[in-house]
């Protein structure tokens, strides 16, 4: 299986922006874990602090789940880029949902050729013309 140019560009966009999303989500995860034990300084009621901690716990769970789904997205997209998967649909859909949406859309617009021979992207029709002086 050989991906064409659009599929390759979508794979590269998926890998780059999913990696950036992993870094950003890990940063937010560490930041939220550090703020879990802190309290809101302006509000003294216990109910608001309890709601604040519940919101932080939900954001921690969201960040962990996002990272857990972005790692297989990067791995599957790398397999598509190398031509080791039978279909490029699952990594493209994961890229749309969890990563950068444009990378997944470009990947879906590209073709994943079923031929095993290498595609020559630089072929010209002019290369077959011989130059002769008449």
Give 25's DSSP letter. H
Residue 85 vs residue 134, higher pLDDT: 85
Q: For residues 9-24, b (16+ Cβ closer than 10 Å) or e, as one string?
A: bbbebbbebbeebbee
**pLDDT at residue 11 is higher than 80:** yes
pLDDT in tens, 71-115: 999 999 999 888 888 888 888 888 888 877 888 898 888 888 766
Ranges of beta strands (E only) in the chain are 2-3, 112-113
**pLDDT at residue 119 is higher than 60:** no
pTM over 0.85: no
Helix axis angle for 101-109 and 5-35, nearest 10°, is 160
Please name the residues in contact with 2: beta carbons below 8 A apart, sequence gap of 6 or more.
Answer: 83, 112, 113, 115, 116, 117, 118, 119
pLDDT in tens, 27-83: 999 998 888 877 666 666 667 778 888 888 999 999 999 999 999 999 999 998 888
Query: CB atoms < 10 A from the CB of 95, how many?
Result: 32
Averaged pLDDT for residues 122-128: 52
Q: Are the C-beta atoms of 103 and 70 separated by less than 8 Å?
A: no
pLDDT in tens, 13-27: 999 999 999 999 999
Question: Which pLDDT score, from 0 to 100, does residue 122 have?
Answer: 57
Query: Residue 100 corresponds to which tokens in the numbers above?
Result: 């950068």
Question: Which pLDDT score, from 0 to 100, does residue 67 have?
Answer: 92
**pLDDT at residue 129 is higher than 70:** no
The DSSP line for 96-132 is HHHS-HHHHHHHHHS-EE---SPP-TT--SGGGPPP-
């Amino acid at each position: 299986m050989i991906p064409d140019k659009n599929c390759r560009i979508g794979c590269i966009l998926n890998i780059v922006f999913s990696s950036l999303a992993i870094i950003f989500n890990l940063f937010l995860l560490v930041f939220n874990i550090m703020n879990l034990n802190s309290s809101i300084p302006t509000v003294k009621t216990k109910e608001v602090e309890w709601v604040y901690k519940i919101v932080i716990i939900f954001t921690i769970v969201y960040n962990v789940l996002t990272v857990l789904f972005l790692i297989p997205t990067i791995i599957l997209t790398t397999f598509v880029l190398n031509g080791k998967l039978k279909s490029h649909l699952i990594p493209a859909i994961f890229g749309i949902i969890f990563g950068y949406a444009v990378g997944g859309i470009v990947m879906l617009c590209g073709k994943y050729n079923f031929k095993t021979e290498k595609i020559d992207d630089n072929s010209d029709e002019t290369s077959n013309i011989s130059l002769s002086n008449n």
